[in-house]
């Protein structure tokens, strides 16, 4: 059974059903659960010009897809178990119900690959096997995967 962190989500029976995989929120869904999801997305800076009206339409679908893309979830625009779980932690952290954790450094002995996104367009990713086009909403950007330790990468790419 899922344990939600954000009090408004925790208090809503429908969101609890979604969090436990017994229901989904999608286009056509209506009610307080939809309004809470919309409000959470708005609070997290996802665009929804019509506001939190409790009706899951095109704007809500688009905001959910953007949220899912941001977090690497299946971008289907449906609020299911995984989407609600990530949204719950995100909004609970945003409102201070979960302390924002201090990132712990990864020991060099455990680090094998470093991936980072750059906000740039690399016109010919074939230049390096380490450069891949960014997926989804990041289209146009590039992802660079650099093996650890860097000295092996630098020897190969920067002769």
Report yes or no on whether pTM surpasses 0.75.
Answer: no
- If one counts every other C-beta atom within 10 angstroms of the C-beta of residue 152, the result is 11
Asked whether the bond before 149 is cis by omega within 30 degrees of 0, the reply is yes
- Rounded to whole angstroms, how far apart are CA atoms 57 and 27? 5
Identify the pLDDT of residue 76.
96
Residue spans of the domains in the chain: they are: 7-94, 113-157
**Does the 7-94 domain belong in CATH 1.10.101.10?**
yes
Three-point CA angle 156, 157, 159, nearest 5°: 75
Q: Which strands sit side by side in the sheet containing 113-118, from one edge to the other?
A: 113-118, 142-147, 131-133
% of the chain exceeding 70 in pLDDT:
62
User: Is the confidence at residue 112, as pLDDT, over 60?
Assistant: no
């Amino acid at each position: 059974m899922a344990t939600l962190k954000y009090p408004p989500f925790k208090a809503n029976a429908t969101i609890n059903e979604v969090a436990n995989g017994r229901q989904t929120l999608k286009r056509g869904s209506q009610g307080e659960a939809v309004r809470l999801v919309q409000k959470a997305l708005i609070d997290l800076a996802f665009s929804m010009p019509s506001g939190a009206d409790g009706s899951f339409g095109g704007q809500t679908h688009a905001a959910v897809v953007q949220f899912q893309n941001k977090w690497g979830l299946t971008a289907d625009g449906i609020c299911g178990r995984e989407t609600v779980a990530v949204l719950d932690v995100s909004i609970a952290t945003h409102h201070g119900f979960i302390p924002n954790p201090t990132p712990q450094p990864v020991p060099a002995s455990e680090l094998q690959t470093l991936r980072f996104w750059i906000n740039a367009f690399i016109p010919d990713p074939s230049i390096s096997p380490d450069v891949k086009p960014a997926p989804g909403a990041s289209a146009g950007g590039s992802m660079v995967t650099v093996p650890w330790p860097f000295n092996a990468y630098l020897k190969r790419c920067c002769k």
